[in-house]
C-alpha cells in the first residue's frame, strides 16, 4: 500500500507546484498575449510606414536643398559679375572725375586767356572807335582824296598815296584784328561750354549706370538672402525629420523587443499550461487507482481555484493606475491650452537634480537633446495589449541610453531647466496607441492614467 501511495503523492505535489507557479506574464492569458502581439505587429507596420514617409521627406528636402544650392551658386556668379561691373564703373567714374578736374583746370587757364583777349578786344574797340570818329569828322574817303589832290608834284603824290594806303591798311588791320579777337573769344567760350557739357553728360551716364548696377545688386542680394533662408529652413526640416526618423527607428527596435518578449511569454505560458495539464492528468489517473483519489482531487481543485483567483487579482491590479507619478514636486501646469498655444503634458516643479522615475516598465527609444525640450528621454511601453509612449523633458541629466530596459519606478534622470524653460521642472507627456511624434497627434492628458 505504501508503494502505491508514494508515487501518487509525488504526482499530486508536482501538479500543485505547477499550478501555483507565478507565470512571468503578469497573469496575462494566452489570448491576451496574442492580442498584444497583434497590436505590436500593427504598430511595427505603422512604424515602418512612418520611417518610409520620413525618409521620403528627408530625400525631398535634400533634393530641394541641392536645387537651392545650385541657384545660390548661379546667383553668386551673377553677383560676382555685377560687382565686377560696379568696380569698373567706379573706376570709370574716378577717371571721369579726374578728367573733369583736369578740364576745369584747363578752363581756368582758358578763362585767364579769355580775360586777356577781352582786354585786347576792349583796346581794339577803343582804337577802332577813335578811328571811326575821326573818319566821321573828316569825311571819310573824301579826306583821303583831298590829301592826294593837294600833292605839290608827282613824287609828293606818290608819298601821299603810300601814306593813305598805310592808313587804310592800318584801319583794315585794326578792324580784322577786332573781328578775329571777337571770333576767338566766342570760339573759346563755346568750346569751354561744350567740353564741360560733354564731360557732365558722360558723368551723368556713369552715375545712372552705377545706380542701375547697385539696384540689380541689391535685388540679387535680396534673392540670395531668400535662398539662404530657404536653405536654412530646409536644413531645419531635414534635422527635424532625421531626429524623428531616429526616434521612429528606436521605437521600431523597442516594438521588436516588446513583441519578442510577448511571444516568449506566450510560449512560456503555453508550455506551462501544457505541463500543468499533463501533470494534472497524471495526478488524476494515479488518484483513481487508490483509495485516496477523492481527497487528492479536492486538494488539486482547491489549488487550481486559488491560483485562478490570484491571477484574476493580478490582472485587476495591473489595470489600476497604469502609470506612476514620475517625480516628486507640485503640479505647476496641466494638459491643454496655455499662453496662446497648447500644452501637451503636465509640468511638475521641483529643484534641479530632483530624481525622475520611469512611470512604467518599458524600453528607452530616445535619449538626447530635442528642440524646445532640452534634454529628453522617451520610453516605449506595451501595457495590456496597447502601446504607450512617455516623454520626460527639460532634464538636467540623463541616466539611461537608447535600447535600455527600465522598470516602473526606476530612476532614469534628474530634473532640470534645459531647453525652452522658465524654471526647474519636469515636462511629462503620455502618448497612446502610438509613439511620440512631432505633431503630438496622439498625446493625452497624463492625469487620467495615474
**Same domain for 199 and 337:** no
pLDDT of residue 325: 95
Q: Which has the higher per-residue pLDDT, 229 or 415? A: 415
pLDDT of residue 10: 34
Q: Give domain status of residue 407, yes or no.
A: yes
CA distances (Å), 142 to each of 135, 137, 146, 148, 160, in order?
10, 11, 6, 10, 14
If you search the block for the grid coordinates 518578449, which residue do you land on? 261
Q: What would you measure as the largest C-alpha separation in the chain, in angstroms?
A: 206
Q: Over the stretch 218-249, which tens digit does the pLDDT of each residue have?
A: 888 888 888 888 888 887 777 677 777 777 77
pLDDT of residue 299: 47
Using pLDDT thresholds of 50, 70 and 90, give the confidence band for residue 323: very high
Q: Which has the higher per-residue pLDDT, 139 or 313? A: 139
The CATH number covering residue 435 comes to: 2.70.70.10
Using pLDDT thresholds of 50, 70 and 90, give the confidence band for residue 383: confident
Is 390 within 8 Å of 376 (Cβ atoms)?
A: no
β-bridge partners, 363: 380, 405
Mean pLDDT along residues 377-387: 88
339 burial via Cβ count (<10 Å: 0-12, 13-18, 19+): exposed
Using pLDDT thresholds of 50, 70 and 90, give the confidence band for residue 310: very low
Check pLDDT > 50 for residue 448: yes
The CATH number covering residue 201 comes to: 1.10.287
Domain boundary pick from 260, 279, 298: 279
Q: Which of 301, 399, 411 is nearest to 356 (CA)?
A: 411
Check pLDDT > 90 for residue 357: yes
pLDDT of residue 252: 75
What residue ranges in 218-351 does DSSP mark as E strands? 330-333, 336-338, 341-343, 346-349
Q: Output the nine-digit C-alpha cell for 336.
A: 491643454
CA atoms within 13 A on the CB side of 66: 5
Q: Over the stretch 276-297, which tens digit does the pLDDT of each residue have?
A: 787 788 778 777 766 554 444 4
Domain boundary pick from 279, 308, 343: 279
**Same domain for 335 and 271:** no
Q: Average pLDDT over the chain, rounded to whole? A: 76
Q: How far apart are CA 375 and CA 68, in angstroms?
A: 32
Which domain range does residue 186 map to? 23-279
**Same domain for 258 and 355:** no
**Same domain for 347 and 244:** no
pLDDT of residue 290: 65
Q: Which of 218, 207, 216, 217 is nearest to 94 (CA)?
A: 207
Q: Over the stretch 2-17, which tens digit does the pLDDT of each residue have?
A: 444 333 333 333 333 3
pLDDT of residue 72: 84
CA atoms within 13 A on the CB side of 135: 13
Check pLDDT > 60 for residue 437: yes
Using pLDDT thresholds of 50, 70 and 90, give the confidence band for residue 304: very low
Check pLDDT > 90 for residue 96: no
Check pLDDT > 80 for residue 166: no
Is 237 within 8 Å of 57 (Cβ atoms)?
A: yes
Q: Which has the higher per-residue pLDDT, 310 or 260? A: 260
Q: How many domains are contained in the chain?
A: 2
Using pLDDT thresholds of 50, 70 and 90, give the confidence band for residue 395: very high
Q: Output the nine-digit C-alpha cell for 153.
A: 608834284
Mean pLDDT along residues 111-139: 64
**Same domain for 67 and 216:** yes
Amino acid at each position: 500500500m505504501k508503494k502505491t501511495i508514494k508515487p501518487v503523492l509525488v504526482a499530486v505535489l508536482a501538479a500543485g507546484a505547477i499550478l501555483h507557479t507565478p507565470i512571468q506574464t503578469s497573469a496575462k492569458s494566452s489570448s491576451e498575449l496574442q492580442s498584444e502581439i497583434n497590436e505590436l505587429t500593427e504598430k511595427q507596420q505603422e512604424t515602418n510606414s512612418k520611417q518610409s514617409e520620413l525618409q521620403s521627406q528627408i530625400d525631398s528636402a535634400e533634393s530641394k536643398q541641392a536645387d537651392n544650392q545650385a541657384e545660390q551658386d548661379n546667383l553668386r556668379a551673377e553677383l560676382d559679375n555685377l560687382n565686377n561691373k560696379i568696380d569698373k564703373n567706379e573706376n570709370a567714374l574716378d577717371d571721369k572725375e579726374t578728367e573733369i578736374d583736369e578740364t576745369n583746370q584747363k578752363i581756368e587757364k582758358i578763362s585767364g586767356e579769355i580775360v586777356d583777349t577781352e582786354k585786347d578786344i576792349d583796346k581794339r574797340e577803343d582804337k577802332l572807335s577813335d578811328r571811326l570818329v575821326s573818319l566821321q569828322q573828316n569825311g571819310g574817303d573824301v579826306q583821303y582824296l583831298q590829301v592826294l589832290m593837294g600833292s605839290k608834284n608827282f613824287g609828293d603824290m606818290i608819298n601821299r598815296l603810300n601814306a593813305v594806303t598805310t592808313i587804310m591798311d592800318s584801319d583794315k588791320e585794326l578792324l580784322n584784328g577786332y573781328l578775329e579777337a571777337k571770333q576767338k573769344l566766342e570760339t573759346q567760350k563755346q568750346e569751354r561750354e561744350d567740353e564741360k557739357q560733354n564731360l557732365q553728360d558722360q558723368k551723368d551716364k556713369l552715375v545712372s549706370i552705377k545706380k542701375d548696377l547697385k539696384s540689380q545688386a541689391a535685388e540679387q542680394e535680396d534673392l540670395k538672402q531668400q535662398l539662404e533662408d530657404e536653405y536654412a529652413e530646409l536644413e531645419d526640416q531635414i534635422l527635424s525629420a532625421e531626429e524623428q526618423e531616429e526616434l521612429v527607428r528606436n521605437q521600431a527596435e523597442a516594438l521588436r523587443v516588446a513583441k519578442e518578449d510577448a511571444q516568449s511569454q506566450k510560449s512560456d505560458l503555453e508550455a506551462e499550461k501544457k505541463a500543468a495539464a499533463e501533470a494534472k492528468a497524471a495526478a488524476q489517473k494515479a488518484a483513481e487507482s487508490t483509495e485516496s483519489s477523492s481527497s487528492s482531487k479536492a486538494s488539486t481543485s482547491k489549488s487550481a481555484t486559488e491560483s485562478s483567483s490570484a491571477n484574476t487579482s493580478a490582472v485587476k491590479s495591473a489595470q489600476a493606475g497604469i502609470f506612476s507619478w514620475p517625480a516628486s514636486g507640485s503640479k505647476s501646469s496641466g494638459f491643454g491650452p496655455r499662453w496662446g498655444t497648447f500644452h501637451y503634458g503636465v509640468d511638475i516643479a521641483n529643484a534641479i537634480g530632483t530624481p525622475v522615475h520611469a512611470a512604467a516598465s518599458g524600453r528607452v527609444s530616445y535619449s538626447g537633446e530635442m528642440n524646445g525640450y532640452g534634454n529628453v528621454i522617451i520610453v516605449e511601453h506595451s501595457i495590456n495589449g496597447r502601446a504607450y509612449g512617455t516623454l520626460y523633458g527639460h532634464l538636467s541629466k540623463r541616466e539611461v541610453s537608447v535600447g535600455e530596459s527600465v522598470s516602473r519606478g526606476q530612476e532614469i534622470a534628474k530634473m532640470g531647466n534645459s531647453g525652452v524653460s522658465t524654471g526647474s521642472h519636469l515636462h511629462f507627456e503620455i502618448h497612446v496607441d502610438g509613439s511620440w511624434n512631432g505633431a503630438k497627434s496622439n498625446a493625452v492628458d497624463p492625469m487620467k492614467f495615474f
